[in-house]
Structure 1
């Protein structure tokens, strides 16, 4: 059948709706799922683009493509909480295999296109990937700052961890976003949402 593999791939992505993340939605009624997170960061990238360093070097369509597919690996590998140091061990290898399996549903050249975008995002070296990574990291941060920070408090997340994991990525991508991050990190600490 024509488009059989493309249909199989998009139906496989439906499983993202069932992958619960550690982060809670803003109203704290439940954990968000990966599909919701992916949608939100795709929209947020469009809003934040004017604040990116090297805006003239960023291809927004490539950023959106990266953000829309980078968490597809969670269907097979699950969501790894970014502050879970033990969970980070072997994360890249698990997710690379999951990327190869999921993108492998598709024929070339799309299979390789998606895999290469995923690897570029993970490497965080190009202007597109640096910006995409910052958007991906700032969104859960905002949900914790403006929500009750359940995912932080239940894991005992420390200020230094957030500064290192989120702040570093955000400041690499945007001066203004970095300034906002510093203000919001201080606010979260003063409200007892993070430990010292």
Structure 2
């Protein structure tokens, strides 16, 4: 059947709706799923793009493609909480195997194109990947700051951890995003959403 692999791939992606993340929705009623996170960062990238340091070097369509597929690996590998150091061990290898399996559903060249985008995102070296990673990291941060910070408080996350993982990525991508991060980090600390 024409489009059989494409349909199989998009049906496989439906599983992202069932992958719960550590982060909570803004109203704190439940944990968000990966599909919701992916949609939100794709929209947020378009909003934040004017503030990117290397805006003239960034291909926004590539960033959107990168963000729309980078968490597809969670279908097989699950969500890894970015502050869980023990879970981060072997994360790349687990997710690379998952990427090859899931993107392998598709025909070439799309299968290789998606895998290349995923690898580029993970390396965080190109202007597109630096910006995409910053957007990916700042969104859960914002939800914690404006929500109750439950995923932080239940894990005992401290300000220096957020600075090292989120702040560095955000500052690398945008001065304005870095300034907003500093203000919001102070707000989270003042409101007791991070352990001191």
Q: Distance in 1 between matches of 2:119 and 2:53?
A: 21
Aligned to 2:154, what secondary structure does the other structure show? helix
1:69 maps to 2:69 = yes
Report what 1:47 is aligned to: 47
Structure 2 residue 42 is the aligned partner of structure 1 residue 29: no
- CA displacement 1:4-60 (0-9 Å, x = unmatched): 000000000000000000000000000000000000000000000000001000000
- Deviating 4+ runs (over 6 angstroms): none
Which runs of 5 or more residues in structure 1 are unaligned? none
How far apart, in 1, do the equivalents of 2:78 and 2:158 lie?
23
Distance 2:153 2:195 in 1: 8
In structure 2, stretches of 5+ residues that fail to align are none
Name 1:141's counterpart in structure 2.
141
TM-score between the two structures when normalised by the length of structure 1: 1.00
Alpha-carbon distance between aligned partners in 2 of 1:117 and 1:45, rounded to the nearest angstrom: 16
Residue of structure 1 equivalent to 2:150 = 150
1:46-195 equivalent positions in 2, closer than 5 A:
46-195=46-195
CA distance in structure 2 between the partners assigned to 1:19 and 1:72 by the alignment: 10
Q: CA deviation at 1:195?
A: 1.0
**Separation in 1, partners of 2:97, 2:184:** 36
